A and B are shown apart, each in its own frame.
Chain A
């Protein structure tokens, strides 16, 4: 018995170490204007970006490793160089970027972000470094129907969730149904599969997509725009005057040297390289890495979930009313809120106090979540043990701990083994949510491959098959052991 405990412990410790090593570095929040000093002291600046917005930022593969490239990345490098620090890039969903900035997860954001009035309320912006127009992408076959935004009255149109384009479509196209979609690639996919009639997108990005997809075409949106809505700037935490000055300096330099067209051209070359080979096999490393992280997170989730779950179940069966209440409250609360919210709470919320890398935050959230479910499974398992067993153990004078350890738990575990396996299987599927904070699990990799290859459906199919292979082989394995057990 002791051997098993120590074995489990070793596995856990090594998993945690593994997780920490591979986790992206995070940064801690500072209340005042210390961002600049922190960056200099630390020797690197953390850029937050959502690399699915070519040619601003997207991912490309070199030597089997994916890296972020694009105009914004080039500018970010210049900023880091001028500050005399290294550049670290943290990828996440566009929606999460501002929160990450506010909670100190990143020091600056370059992600084709328009400095709108609303955003200015929560973060500061640099001078504008690029002005692009707002275009609409349509299917080529619809060229006759759609000329500009006025053709979309009462039609269906899509834009990136939380973006300027989304608001433009809402405000300036009468009667249109506007859907918000997280990823650029999914927007194009929605268009190609006729879910929407058009996609509002920043001009250079729209053109990048059009040049890689023969079926679509860019038209001028004809939106009435003010400076905020056509321009792109660097976002940084509020009250960072020094950082802001430095970044503005870099932007001025870039503008005076007229480097932007060159950066865009470089981005174009990467894009061509990306789309040279779009077979899914070519991207197997992405998927393999995604599968690895998905399994890692689920495994950690089920192991720690089991530990938390056992504790909670024991608390729930204890004699103390307070302990019972705590456990019940925890279980009910966790089961009554979505994992996604819990994940964001752990990453961004706890991130205010502790520096949690995304992977660690993901593991914690998934473990805490599965703990609540496993607690109920274990409680059921304990209750399913015949009452006579407890009486016999009691009548022999065994104390409560020994009764649990030697008599009740071994029998309960045997009963709940299948349910635990099912929990593991559902964790493999549910852990996919960690991709929103940038953990490179299978869903995350699926999106990367989508944006790299501009192929919408094929990566989805691959990910689906991979998920199925994982869950199916696991359930076969469990069946095998279940039979052996009995």
Chain B
């Protein structure tokens, strides 16, 4: 029996009259690597952000490990977020701190680790993402790929139960995409539960165990990568794949 990490029930998000997400239901189980793909404007990022309540759903519920997040107070949400790691398209490293401090801040302030414990853990994580020598550097002096790897380390430092990636390679120069994907692959191998919004079809195909194809404010198709890429069921998915393949 697999453990359920996230459960999304009839999630709808509207901005005024604009419906961004329409009545979405889905589950993420422990160990799942889910790639969310689809055309721009499909609502992928908004969907991901709803999972950690950076966006508040208009209606519907999000359960994390059985707890209804939409019923929680702002204060309680802060505790929930410890369990959900988030990696952003634009890294969002804190430019006023060193790499090390970026990683240790939350474990010290939120989890109550001592500075020493947090540093030890941070150095291990930096080693894991291949940036041991950058502990004392400032984010502005790193390349895009390095920044994103630090951002991943920063999220991992909270020992989350699930990692959310919001187009982690979209802002990178092409030659740097690989190093970030490699780190994510390693992470997947280690058994981390991951939800990844991505345009990297190769990654989606080779690493994930499920593809969620989103278009028109909804998940149109959920399938194993082998099925989805060789035999998409919906017309929209066919159309999307044909466009990508032409490219």
Contact = CB atoms under 8 A, between A and B. Distances in A.
B167 interface: no
A28 to B, nearest CB: 47
A397 B82 contact: yes
Contacts of A389: 92, 94
Given A397-B81, A398-B78, A399-B78, A391 B92 contact: yes
Interface in B45-84: 52, 54, 74-75, 78-82, 84
Contacts of A320: none
Nearest to B52: A395
A113 B8 CA distance: 84
Contacts of B79: 397
A397 B78 contact: yes
A262 B74 CA distance: 80
Nearest to B49: A391
Contacts of B95: 411
A392 B92 contact: yes
B138 interface: no
Nearest to A387: B92
A395 B86 contact: yes
Contact-size category for A: 20 to 34
Contact of B90 (A388, A393, A395, A411): A388
Contacts of B105: 396, 398, 406
Interface centre among A393, A395, A402 (most CB of B within 10 A): A395
Contact of B109 (A392, A402, A414): A402
A345 to B, nearest CB: 39
B158 interface: yes
A414 B96 contact: yes
Contacts of A175: none
B94 A407 contact: yes
A107 to B, nearest CB: 56
Given A397-B79, A402-B109, A388 B158 contact: no
A292 interface: no
A411 B96 contact: yes
B78 A395 contact: no
B155 interface: yes
A250 B64 CA distance: 89
A394 B96 contact: no
A414 B138 CA distance: 16
A398 B93 CA distance: 14
B154 interface: yes
B110 interface: yes
A389 B93 CA distance: 7
Contacts of A380: none
Contact of A388 (B82, B85, B88, B97): B88
A410 interface: yes
A396 B90 contact: no
B88 A391 contact: yes
**Which secondary structure dominates chain A's binding surface?**
helix
A152 B54 CA distance: 78
A356 to B, nearest CB: 40
Contacts of B223: none
A398 B94 contact: no
Contact of A395 (B84, B93, B94): B84
Interface string A468-482: 000000000000000
Given A388-B90, A391-B88, A396 B81 contact: yes
Nearest to B111: A397
B106 interface: yes
A392 B54 CA distance: 10
A396 B96 contact: no
A319 B74 CA distance: 11
Nearest to B154: A396
A406 B54 contact: no
A319 B97 CA distance: 27
Interface centre among A319, A389, A396 (most CB of B within 10 A): A396
A79 B105 CA distance: 70
A359 to B, nearest CB: 38
Interface string A392-436: 111111111010001100110010000000000000000000000
A397 B54 contact: no
Contacts of A411: 94-96
Interface in B91-116: 92-97, 105-106, 109-110
B90 A398 contact: no
Interface in A298-354: 319
A466 B143 CA distance: 50
A406 B101 CA distance: 10
Nearest to A410: B96
Interface string B104-145: 011001100000000000000000000000000000000000
Contacts of A396: 81, 105-106, 110, 154-155, 158
Contacts of A392: 86, 88, 92-94, 151
Contacts of A395: 52, 54, 81, 84-86, 155
Nearest to B93: A392
Contacts of B92: 386, 388-389, 391-392
A392 B92 CA distance: 6
A232 to B, nearest CB: 66
Contacts of A397: 78-82, 106, 110, 158
A320 to B, nearest CB: 12
B160 to A, nearest CB: 9
Nearest to A391: B54
Contacts of B54: 391, 394-395
Contacts of A402: 109-110
A402 to B, nearest CB: 5
B53 to A, nearest CB: 9
Nearest to B164: A395
Contacts of A414: 96
Nearest to A409: B96
B199 to A, nearest CB: 19
23 contacts: A386-B92, A388-B90, A389-B94, A391-B54, A391-B86, A391-B88, A392-B94, A392-B151, A394-B81, A395-B54, A395-B85, A395-B86, A395-B155, A396-B106, A396-B155, A397-B110, A397-B158, A398-B78, A399-B78, A406-B105, A406-B109, A407-B94, A410-B96
Given A389-B94, A391-B88, A397-B80, 9 more contacts: A389-B92, A391-B86, A392-B93, A392-B151, A395-B54, A395-B81, A396-B81, A397-B79, A398-B106
